[in-house]
Amino acid sequence: MVETVSGPDLSAALPARSVPAPVVARLPGYLQALESLRAGGRSTVSSEELAGMCAVGSAILRRDLSHLSAAGRRGVGYDCAGLAANIRSFLGLDRVRRIGIIGAGRLGSALADYAGIAASGFALAGVFDTSPRVVGTSVGGLTVSPMGDFAERSAEAGIELAVIAVPAPAAQSAADAAVAAGIRGILNFAPVVLTVPPAVHVRHVDLATELQVLAHYTAAEAREQQQ
């Protein structure tokens, strides 16, 4: 769902724009596999092996990588460290990206403590909540700030991405506050379709949706017959 511009050709300067969304969505998986290979001391991988680790086909992996300026060596494979750096750069992770978590309830706290955040190239730089009972407590190593301070504190802390982990009724106003503060990327865990300006990117993770999809497939198998 990336905007399509057909006019001037800036592909030479910026291939990023034209990379299909499904490709972007697979890159983090490749990156993770590369990290684990590197941790195991491996220096190169073949497309076949890397694809196997990520549960995709080797052809699709090679084509995905062709979108970035990754250089594999024919007859050898890909350099783990080099490819990892390349993907990280493509994802905008060649510098640490700071994130803020809105909502310091159970889910927000769990996300704040998730060790993978730092390992993935991010830094938790703020935790916010509206409830006075939570403000001031410590979550994820940070003191919870009142939601009213979001704009000020996110600017101070250099927060670029917001994670919304509040109850459904509060999600839209949390998003509004984030947008007003200049945030342009939102990861939404609340079961609500957020309305934001086109310049803001939203990704939506919903437990109920995932379970329902799973329910369909398991039920379909049992039924064996579809309508």
Residues binding DNA (CB under 7 A): 4, 8, 10-11, 16, 20-23, 45-48, 56-60, 62-63, 65-66, 70-78
CA distances to 39, 186, 190, 191, 225 from 205, in Å: 29, 11, 8, 8, 30
Give whichever of 152 and 210 is closer to its own copies, judged by the CB atom.
Answer: 210
Q: Is 103 annotated as a binding residue?
A: yes
Among 38, 62, 105, 151, binds its own copies (CB under 8 A): 105
Binding mask 143-172 for its own copies (x = CB under 8 A): -----------------xx-x----x----
Give whichever of 22 and 169 is closer to DNA, judged by the CB atom.
Answer: 22
Residue 196 site contact among its own copies, DNA, none (CB < 5 to 8 Å, cut-off depends on kind): none
CA distances to 30, 48, 125, 178 from 59, in Å: 14, 8, 39, 40
CA-wise closest residue to 163 among 93, 90, 109, 88: 109
Question: 10 Å Cβ neighbour count for 124?
Answer: 22
Give whichever of 60 and 157 is closer to DNA, judged by the CB atom.
Answer: 60
57 is a contact residue toward its own copies (CB under 8 A): yes
31 Cα distance to chain centroid: 12
Residue 22 site contact among DNA, its own copies, none (CB < 5 to 8 Å, cut-off depends on kind): DNA
Footprint of its own copies on 14-53 (CB under 8 A): 14, 16-19, 24-25, 27-29, 31-33, 48-49, 51-53
Q: Does an H or E element contain 98, and which?
A: strand 97-102
Q: Does an H or E element contain 171, and which?
A: helix 168-180
* Residue 83 contacts residue 70 (beta carbons within 8 Å): yes
Residues annotated within the binding site for NAD(+) are 103-108
